[in-house]
Amino acid sequence: MIVDDLCGTLSADAMMGDLAEFAKRVKLSGTAEELESFEFIQARMKAMGFSTKLLSHDAYISLPGAASLGVGNEQIGCITHSFSKPSAPGGTRGKLVYLPQGGTADVAGKIVVFDGIANPAASLRATQAGAIGQIHVSPHEHKHEMCISPVWGSPTPETAARLPQTVVVSVTLADGTRLKQRLANGEELEANIQAEVDTGWRKTPILVAEIAGPDDKFVMFSGHHDTWHLGVMDNGSANATMMDVARVVAARRGEWRRGLRLCFWSGHSHGRYSGSTWYADSHWDELNRNCIAHVNIDSTGAKGATVLADALTSSELRALGREAIAEQGGQDIDGRRMSRAGDQSFWGVGIPSMFMGMGEQPAGESLDVTASVLGGHSGRKGAGFGWWWHTPDDTLDKIDPVLLIRDAKIYVHTVWRLLTDAVLPLDYAAWAQDFLAELDRLKPGSFDISPLRERATRLRDAAATLTGDPAAVNQALMQVSRALVPIDYTSGDRFAPDPALGQSAYPPLDAIRALSGLEADSDAEKFTTVAALRARNRIAHALDAAISALAAGGTRPAGSPW
């Protein structure tokens, strides 16, 4: 089998050699050290026969600096975060108030103590409540670097208002527990936070490496290159994997049916995905016309990361992901939806996506410090990327060459099929079945969702029986993706990304979901019905477009209503 032959030519030595080079530099977005590392990758990709472009663009980047926290006469070790507000001259002073998850309190003008790793949702909540500062209590003895902006990509005049307006620091579990206990004992505590944060526009790089196929269509294979500290796992191991996968599949480029484009992003960690968002904005028409799928990669080959079951895929690519992981990793996946994280900046364009992180630490054996990124604990079998994630301890010793090869095999299998399958492995019958299952979970009262159910059923049946000339079928499948991916993973606008916050499955259904439990004939129920009608129209229109594309691109099955 070709895939097995290709996997047999992967090189752990080559990947570990690249990682040793990456381990020489801290790669903060927009810095000279990061650019030097990009130039190293560019030289390697050129040597493999890829054409390369090292792009430069303006991005709104935030680099945290020194921070200190004083509570009374005690100094507590802390770090500040990307997009925290810098403190006032002499520090930002305020009364402390502890706000447990789900709790409420008057925090206006105060400094809030939160449990858990700093995150955009908590930052937005504190800003909207009028807090002046936040102290996040780590779940263990390590403090994790984080970007706390809820704005996906560089801000616009409209989204800039959502940027954090508080000073934010994180402390260890021991220090935070002691603070919370003192507050629980009735002490009135005042804190002084000092934080230096350099936020502004910087020139940042993107490296594009490409081998064209027989026409303009291509697979996008992407991962970020900027890091917190040395970032050998996150995301050096993914970059090394990208390069070796590219080397292996390029050796048989004569068999490709479409091209391969690798994108190495900056601005992931310090600009809330500013690089991939800029690329989506600046290359929107080309991506819309020609990109068949986006394969994302993050933090491969980590020591102890033996669990593959939580790998993320969109519905239409789940069968491909399940096959690749079963055959190359020996495990089954649970079919988890893509989460609102990573450089998934292309859903509005309508590009199907799969993967982000690959292996995870086993649940119960490791503290899950990445739950907010990988979609929370519900149903997950793994415990994230490891305690060293986003810390100075993300170093070369955290990589297991055996697991690095395992993960690279999964990506070789995936990328090779996307490059060479005569008919694109996009299963929209599976998509429609998932959507129908979601409709079954709705409780919309008297609101009629039968138009959506009827269309989704027609879509499922049409996709399951789609046959015909491969070129016409592939064009139809791409048109279907442009119609359905945006309703699967965006709230509305194909041209402006949603906030970097958690979202429901099929976000346009939220208006219909909101009808549940509202008092009949109340203003709230009638206002929400207006929104639900518009949402139903939008989804029905997308389903109609998908059905029409299938009708135009395939052979009509007997009894078809087209």
| Residues ≥6 apart with Cβ < 8 Å to 378 | none
Q: Shortest CA distance to 273 belongs to which of 371, 200, 346?
A: 346
> Which runs of E-coded beta strand occur in 379-455?
none
Give the pLDDT of the chain (562 residues) as one tens digit per residue.
899 999 999 999 999 999 999 999 999 999 999 999 999 999 999 999 999 999 999 999 999 999 999 998 899 999 999 999 999 999 999 999 999 987 788 999 999 999 999 999 999 999 999 999 999 999 999 999 999 999 999 999 999 999 999 999 999 999 999 999 999 999 999 999 999 999 999 999 999 999 999 999 999 999 999 999 999 999 999 999 999 999 999 999 999 999 999 999 999 999 999 999 999 999 999 999 999 999 999 999 999 999 999 999 999 999 999 999 999 999 999 999 999 999 999 999 999 999 999 999 999 876 777 776 656 556 788 989 999 999 999 999 999 999 999 999 999 999 999 999 999 999 999 999 999 999 999 999 899 999 999 999 999 999 999 999 999 999 999 999 999 999 999 998 899 999 999 999 999 999 999 999 899 999 999 999 999 999 999 999 999 999 999 998 865 433 333 3
Domains of the chain by residue range: 15-61+201-261+295-420, 428-553
Provide the pLDDT for residue 367: 75
CA atoms of 111 and 88, how far apart (whole Å): 14
Give the span between the Cα atoms of 457 and 136, in whole angstroms.
47
pLDDT for 375:
61
Element counts in the chain: helices (H) and strands (E): 16, 12
> Which CATH number is correct for 15-61+201-261+295-420, 3.90.245.10, 3.40.630.10, 3.40.50.2000, 3.40.30.10?
3.40.630.10
Place of tokens 């990509």: 153
Task: Kindly provide the b/e burial profile for residues 231-251, where b requires at least 16 CB atoms within 10 angstroms of the residue's own CB.
Answer: bbbbbbbbbbbbbbbbbbbee
What's the number of CA atoms in the CB half-sphere (13 Å) around residue 441? 13
Task: Give the model's pLDDT for residue 492.
Answer: 82
Structure tokens at 559: 């009894």
CA distance 451 to 250: 47
| Predicted pLDDT of residue 554 | 67
The strand ranges marked E within 240-349 are 259-265, 291-296
Cα distance between residue 120 and residue 372, in whole Å: 10
Q: Is the pTM of this model over 0.85?
A: yes
Residue whose entry in the numeric block shows the structure tokens 């994180």: 170
Distances (CA, A) of 20 to 23, 45, 47, 48, 232: 5, 17, 19, 19, 8
Considering the four listed CATH numbers 2.40.160, 1.10.10, 1.20.930, 1.20.58, the one that applies to the domain covering 428-553 is 1.20.930
